[in-house]
Amino acid sequence: MRQRPSKVASQLGQRVCDLRKTLSLTQEKLAKKAGIGFPYLSMIERGYRTPHLETLVRIAAALGVSLSQLFIEAHEPSANDLPLLSYLGTLRLSSDDVKAVLLVARAMFKGGPP
């Protein structure tokens, strides 16, 4: 009988999955960038495996985020809870497009570029 994923493993896995989709990466592409097998990445995203620290560092680097961002934001709402993030996730934006969207959003909500 398969054990249910822990809450932390599920949240972390969902965060990795959300970031991957926002960057329009397949599991295969992210796994290759991180130097891990894509079946292992799939298990991480579903919360069935908790990776070692070294693996988390490689996944974070492949996603272009810091290790702390991977954990801090794992406890925030997922893209499924935020309509704008869900919509952006369907667009298959490049990482440059994502940066441009963030720049525009920061300018709109803070009154100027960062």
Q: pLDDT class for 49, splitting at 50, 70, 90?
A: very high
Choose between 104 and 30: higher pLDDT. Answer: 30
User: Is residue 105 left, alpha or beta, with left meaning phi > 0 and alpha meaning psi from -120 to 50?
Assistant: alpha
User: Which segment of 34-38, 39-43, 97-101, 108-112 scores lowest on mean pLDDT?
Assistant: 108-112
pLDDT given for residue 4 in this prediction: 74
Choose between 78 and 87: higher pLDDT. Answer: 87
Domain ranges, ordered by start, for the chain: 7-110
Q: pLDDT class for 48, splitting at 50, 70, 90?
A: very high
Per mean pLDDT, which of 12-21, 32-41, 97-106 is the most reliable?
32-41
pLDDT given for residue 39 in this prediction: 96
CA dist., res. 65 & res. 114, Å (int): 18
The total of other beta-carbon atoms located within 10 Å of residue 54's CB is 9
pTM above 0.75, yes or no: no
CATH level 2 (architecture), domain 7-110: Orthogonal Bundle (1.10)
Structure tokens at 52: 């070692």
The total of other beta-carbon atoms located within 10 Å of residue 75's CB is 11
pLDDT given for residue 55 in this prediction: 94
